[in-house]
Structure 1
Amino acid sequence: MSTETIPNWLEKRVALTPERPAIHTQESSITFEELRTQAMSMAGKLTSLGVKKGSHVAIYANNSLDFVRFVHAISYIGAVGVFLNTRLTKREISFQLKDADCDVVIYDQDISSIIEDLGEELAIRSHSFAEISKQNESPYEPQLEVAMDEVYTILYTSGTTGNPKGVMLTYGNHWWSAVSSALNLGLSEEDHWLATLPLFHVGGLSLLFKNVIYGMPITLLTSFDEQEIHNAIMEKGVTIVSVVSVMLKRLLAQLHVDEAYPSSFRCMLLGGGPAPKPLLEEAASKQVPVIQTYGMTETSSQIVTLSAQDALWKIGSAGKPLFPAQLTILNNHQKTGAQTIGEIVVKGPMVTSGYYKRPEANEETIQDGWLFTGDLGYVDEEGFLYVVDRRKDMIISGGENIYPAEIEEVLLGVDSIKEVGVIGQDDDRWGEVPVAFVVLHEGVSLSTEEIYSHCVRALAKYKIPKMIYFEDYLPRNASNKLLRRELGNWLKKRGNAE
């Protein structure tokens, strides 16, 4: 069977609308033709550094034009991009670079210390964007067609047990994600998307593909700034902003009683976990359209999305599966009826073919094209999805996914700690933050400061427990499995006692 191919997206976009604005930053704006020229130039420079078709090239950088150029440069070469979260520790980055078999890592010189250290330790070549800009270009055969089943990106997602897994996403996965979103939200000549989410997360990265496939300008921010975003909506023609709950909350606080967004503003596209109903009601009261989505790295971003016409009468719902996608709710592998909670299982051309070098996980998670998400939810009588729990044990803090098992593994590396249980605690700013319940070995003492000192070396800042509770034992069932729900009850009792 022949492989389906389509034109390279940026190449096709330039053929259609070369002079249309592509990317706006605080410093400059470039057209699609300028983006193509710059991306092809970077591809030549990467080629001179030994990058070739099939190379695994990691990027460690914050949002920038260099990041955008890189994403398109590797498509011209046919290399695979491995996107590293800049908030991770040296230990976490080291694991991902080795696990993904990276040949080279490209980094932002402003945040270079971790990569410079690792380059020597792991014998992986590393080059800053500043170094690449001075590099001579080598001739290469630009990939002017892309094969839809070819892996384009690898993004790491935390697992409920063990180490993170690299999610392989093909050109076809990213293409169908962009097309499916357009079929739901519609397209307008006036559309202008504001990119606030990190480009190393799938929610941010997906905008770079929508950008060229739709021919839609995006304004790229280096970080979340509610005042800057508010101004962009009010004064610069931004029509769509991708947010997580904590961002939406801060943006609504910027909107004064006598203010309203322009009628051209289409929506806040809200992902990153279930949103509190009071927050959605506040948005509705301020006439801010919010369209909830449900998705994950494994689905190339959203796979279930509320439509604009349903946003106000289905508050709290993530919506219905996008046009090419399917969804079912299973309980003990049996389909459930309406209003019955079970595991959310999805299928569609935007769903990953699997995890890199994880055959056992692939066999368990993906069956006949159906992705078993591990998340709990239900559908109502009209088929609208409601997400009850975002992967049973997962903590979502400011849009970042945190798995307790990863923190527990680090804490159990402390000799004095016998047992540990980590859960999420509600937080006004971040939605949730991790807290840890710790049991020490008999006869030893350990301070909170010593635990934090250990965590700082091994965990990203947002994963470090915000509170440590010392206990004599942890609640477990007959199979000795930790009862996290009971830990939640302990936390509530502490809160009531305080």
Structure 2
Amino acid sequence: MRHVPSPPDWLATQSAANASKPFLCLEHEQLTFGEVEAMVGHACLFLQAAVPTMKGHNAAIWNTDPKLTVILLLACARLGWPATVLPPALPSAALARRIAQVPLTLLLFGAGEGPDEAPSRIFDGAVEQVAVEMPVVGSNSSAPVWSQSNAHMVGNSNLEWTQGWVFTSGTTGTPKAITVTFGNLLWSTAASGYRLGYRVSDCWLHCMPLHHIGGLALLFRSLIFGFSLCMRNRFDHHEARDLMERGAVTHAAFVPTMLVRLLNANLDLNAPGQRFRTVLAGGAKVTESLRSECREHGLDVVASYGMTESCSHIAAERPGRTSSSGEGPSLRHAGIQIRNVDGEHLPAGHQGTIWIRGPQLSSSCELDGQGWFRTGDWGMLDDNGSVHVLDRQDGVFVSGGENVSSRHVAESLMELPEIEHAWVTGVPDREWGHRVVAVLQPFANRVPDEHALRHRLRTRLAVHEVPKRFVWVDSLPRTELGKVDAATARQLAEELQQ
């Protein structure tokens, strides 16, 4: 019999070595690596019986229970089925746009959540649909356990095997399906672990959805390194504060908005002997004022830079730094360059388009001849090799013949005590080329005097950078991860600035 290389089974490896070690710490239960291994085995047996043809399936997973989502993701990985997780709260039209990008053959959903729910209606019989019960495995269970020998593929691990597809955040447009291989996940994990110093005794707070690259990558990092996950279906700043302060978790991955909410909840990690070590921050700029406030609360924040195409972060600061270093240097085996509009490499200190390279990049990336990917972000490298992300390239616009960085203007606005959140764009204008418009969320919904606001901004910004128009909102539109929904915010700016 010819042995066909199969995807790596990191769960089986951890279960064999650390069966009794906690893996998933959920809200109302705790599961060890061994218990999850048994549940995944039973899920594989169920799928083997429910799906007539075992080979060649591409699965979509849709349900509201993160525990079942984890089980199904790992069962699909073991069966060699590439899988994508569909956001359960996404409207039908948005789901249809995602489904159209991926060659799906199978829909898996939690029993009781279909077939009348949105994904089933969209597929409308085009793919096989299977309702899955949560596997129940007790210590006295005598049910048969699925093993690798039950599969159609055995042999050495194949890191080129596709784990599945993850969609970009879509903050600036329609989300795009990005292919993720097991090799991408392994390279990303190894490089991140080398930079951040993962330990087997770590426990990460996991409150990112599994359909986002941050949530998926953290799940597989746990499987590869063997640390635990405190998994929650959503971010609750009061619960997160309590978990961090009592040492139930050692790390967390947050966007800056989450950090602000934690600080507002009076997080205090200054007590001696604290177990919590580091927050990995990404998704948006960590301002120097936010860093300073976090340090006052005893919180070590590591800024990072990455995207779905790079399987999460590809650059990160080193833990324990007391001064800002932008988003840090590139991770091991990765590279970052700054290039001008002609594609020419720029030296440190010069601004241009950010290009990245490395084995964690998705095959969905369109690379140049040397393996570099143009990100569409605007930034620079400092003399220490740290990348400073200044804006999206489409966030740099010309107003009155001068370049304006929307991120720089927004950060300057948020340094003012009256402004809680800010988003800035350039709206096409006959006179200026682009008119600088700021969409602002004031503190306590108290709109300040605009004349006084502009006067104060002129001490921080060049004349051409000061917004010509302010649009006041109760709250900025955001994605489920807390990032500003740029497409919706831009629509507000264009409509309300008239």
What does residue 116 of structure 1 align with? 120
TM-aligned CA distance change 1:465 to 1:351, over 3 Å: closer
Match of 2:332 among 310, 317, 323: 323
Amino acid at match of 1:64: P
Q: Which residue of 2 aligns with 1:103?
A: 105
d(CA) in 1 for partners of 2:368 and 2:136? Answer: 41
Partner of 2:133: 130
Report the AA paired with residue 425 of structure 1: V
| CA 428–53 in structure 1, closer or farther in 2 if over 3 Å, else same | farther
* 1:27/1:256 CA distance change after superposition, 3 Å: closer
2:481 matched residue in structure 1: none
Q: Is the 8 A contact 2:340 2:346 kept in 1?
A: yes
Measure the CA separation in 1 of the matches of 2:112 and 2:368. Answer: 39
Give the direction of change, closer, same or farther, for the CA distance of 1:56–1:283 in structure 2 (3 Å limit).
same
1:215-272 Cα offsets, whole Å, 9 max, x none, are 1011100111111111111224310011011111111122257965852211111011
Equivalent in the alignment of 2:48 = 47
TM-score, with structure 2 as normaliser: 0.73
Residue 374 of structure 1: how far off its partner (Å): 0.7
Secondary structure at the counterpart of residue 133 of structure 2: helix
Q: For residues 268-347 of structure 1, what are the structure 2 equivalents within 5 Å?
A: 268-309=279-320, 311-314=321-324, 317-332=326-341, 333-347=343-357
Residue of structure 2 in register with 1:352 after alignment: 362
Which residues in structure 2 correspond to 1:360-375 (within 5 Å)? 362-363=365-366, 367-375=369-377
1:172 equivalent among 183, 186, 205: 183
- 2:57–2:104 CA contact under 8 A, matched in 1: yes
Paired-residue identity, %: 25
Q: Distance in 1 between the 2:438 and 2:72 partners?
A: 36
TM-score (norm 1): 0.73
Deviation at 1:117, TM superposition (A): 2.2
Q: Say if 1:76 and 1:143, in contact at 8 Å, map to a contact too.
A: no
1:382 shift after superposition: 1.1
Distance 1:257 1:115, change over 3 A: closer
Counterpart residue number, 1:198: 209
How far residue 108 of structure 1 moved from its aligned partner, in angstroms, is: 4.3
C-alpha contact 1:244 1:270 (8 A) present in aligned 2 = yes
What one-letter code is carried by the residue in structure 1 that aligns with 2:62? Y
How many residue pairs were aligned? 410
Deviation at 1:369, TM superposition (A): 2.1
> 1:426–1:3: structure 2 CA closer, same or farther, 3 Å change rule?
farther
Match of 1:157 in 2: 168
Task: Please list the CA deviations of residues 151-176 of structure 1 after superposition, one character each: whole Å capped at 9, or x if unmatched.
Answer: 11111226799753211111100011
Q: 1:132–1:143: structure 2 CA closer, same or farther, 3 Å change rule?
A: farther
Q: Which residue of 1 aligns with 2:96?
A: 94
Amino acid at match of 2:239: E
What amino acid is the match of 2:331?
L
Q: CA RMSD in A?
A: 3.7
Structure 2 residue corresponding to 1:79, chosen from 78, 81, 88: 81
SS of corresponding position for 2:157: strand
**Structure 2, unaligned runs of 5 or more:** 138-143, 397-405, 408-422, 426-434, 444-483
- In 2, Cα distance between equivalents of 1:240 and 1:265: 6
Assess if the C-alpha contact under 8 Å between 2:6 and 2:161 holds in 1. no
In the alignment, structure 1 residue 23 sits paired with structure 2 residue 24: yes
CA drift of 1:463 comes to 7.4
Which whole-Å CA distance do the structure 1 matches of 2:345 and 2:177 have between them? 29
2:100 is paired with a residue whose SS is helix
**One-letter code of the match for 2:74?**
H
Which has the bigger relative contact order, CA under 8 A and spacing at least 6?
Answer: 1
Q: Does 1:465 align with 2:465?
A: no
Q: Which amino acid in the other structure matches residue 341 of structure 1? A: Q
User: Structure 1 422/142 Cα, relative in aligned 2: closer, same or farther at 3 Å?
Assistant: farther
Give the whole-Å Cα distance in 2 for the aligned partners of 1:3 and 1:370: 32
Alignment partners' CA distance in 1, 2:130 and 2:272: 43
Q: Please tell me the residue identity of whatever aligns with 2:176.
A: K
